[in-house]
A = this chain, B = another copy of it.
Amino acid sequence: MTTASTSAPRWLTDEEQRVWRAYLHATTLLEDHFDRQLQRDAGMPHTYYGLLVQLSQAPRRRMRMTELARNAKITRSRLSHAIARLEKNGWVRREDCPSDKRGQNAVLTDDGLDMLRRSAPGHVEAVRQAMFDRLTDEQVKSLGEIMRTLATGLEPEGTDADLPWLR
């Protein structure tokens, strides 16, 4: 048992507060920025775009729903809705999984691949402008380590963590 609920809160220091605030500001602005860029240039939010990218890099341009959800760090429910929408656009289609009758594969269509090829250059440019062009090589390296640490912290191996794609 922990005593967290009764012991004195370990408040954030001034520096920690500033860092936390900066983190929230930057991530909120970046999310807004890319959502708008992609809504304008590709007609979908950033999360949906990320799904198409995943599929484009998967063998045979297809992936099981749960694996796709795990890669995108989202719930299966959210993914179901997203794929339904992308299917309506003709960029993805569903396919029964041969080996498991419960399973579905999301498949990137030719139209979907075209859409991706058209919008990729603009999106990469946006990512560069907003992130990589502004950071030194040192900072990029550091950011990578930090983000890997934080991500790993929330999905520790071999545990019963509350992960979105298992809900």
Contact B131 A9 (CB under 8 A): no
Kindly list chain B residues whose C-beta atoms are within 8 Å of the C-beta of A33.
154
Kindly list chain B residues whose C-beta atoms are within 8 Å of the C-beta of A127.
12, 20
Contact of A150 among B73, B130, B141, B153 (CB under 8 A): B130
Contact A19 B147 (CB under 8 A): yes
In the docked arrangement, what's the CA distance between A50 and B99, Å? 47
In the docked arrangement, what's the CA distance between A146 and B38, Å? 24
Q: In chain A, residues 112-141, which have Cβ atoms closer than 8 Å to a Cβ of chain B?
A: 120-122, 124-125, 127-128, 130-132, 134-135, 139-141
Contact A147 B32 (CB under 8 A): no
Using A9-B121, A10-B124, A125-B10 as known contacts, say yes or no to A146 and B150 having CB atoms under 8 A apart: no
